[in-house]
Amino acid sequence: MTGRIHSFQSMGAVDGPGLRCVVFCQGCPARCAYCHNPDTWDFAGGEEVTPEALVQKILRYRAYIRNGGVTVTGGEPLMQPDFVAELFRRLHEAGIHTALDTSGIGEEAGIEKVLAHTDLVLADVKFLSDEAYREYCGISFRQVLAFLDRVRERKIPMWVRHVVVPGLNDRAEDVRTLLDLLSPYPNLQKIELLPFRKLCLEKYDALGIPFPLRDTPAMTEAGIAALAAELPEHLR
């Protein structure tokens, strides 16, 4: 069995608890307007690897990630469910914590395989309506909600990540709507409000792809702090 990965980060500090190895999968069906990694879209790109080889590479960093673990992100890791499930299974055998950073887009059977070996889900909830999801991501919000329900059924701890874009979802009312949406999920541990940035412009230009939000201003740290004040203390 092999999978395709875009890149590997040996010690990430922002993709789950503690220091972590971060595996970036190749291939994504979504086209999010603010995506920072358009170079991960192509399913034929990246490097082909086996779960065994990747685990051996990760184990070199065991001393550094002993209080963290491994996060698989993308692209969209649920597009390679057999590969990710086998990687996570082997990591569990080695006693390493696993985190899945995902938009929740994938086939039901594949999702179940991956979740069976997942310790933490980092769920990217991008917008708050099916209309907005289809306009700015090209995917279905209903599928995202179905994924969140599966995570809840398995009682897997969940962090929600939400990119805040000026003019699209940057009102206090939007944060309150997000909280209402997530209120039925007792497994929710944290909400991360992430500021929209445009550090990806060079990538888009190099690939000859237009960046849909080129003229949208970056979100300020002060703006994020004000919105974060709307969150309950236990979810910050």
* pLDDT tens for each residue of 139-193: 999 999 999 999 999 999 999 999 999 999 999 999 999 999 999 999 999 999 9
Q: For residue 77, what pLDDT is reported? A: 98
Q: Whole-model pTM?
A: 0.96
If DSSP codes are grouped into helix, strand and coil, which group holds residue 101? Answer: strand
User: What integer pLDDT is reported at residue 84 of this predicted model?
Assistant: 98
SS3 label, residue 224: helix
Instruction: Write down the H helix ranges in the chain.
Output: 51-59, 81-93, 108-115, 130-136, 141-153, 172-182, 201-207, 221-228
pLDDT, mean of residues 92-101? 98
Average pLDDT over residues 3-29: 96
Residue with tokens 């907005």: 132
Token output for 114:
């991956």
Mean pLDDT in residue range 73-77? 96
Q: What phi and psi values does residue 170 have, to the nearest 5 degrees?
A: -110, 20
Mean predicted lDDT score pLDDT of the chain: 97
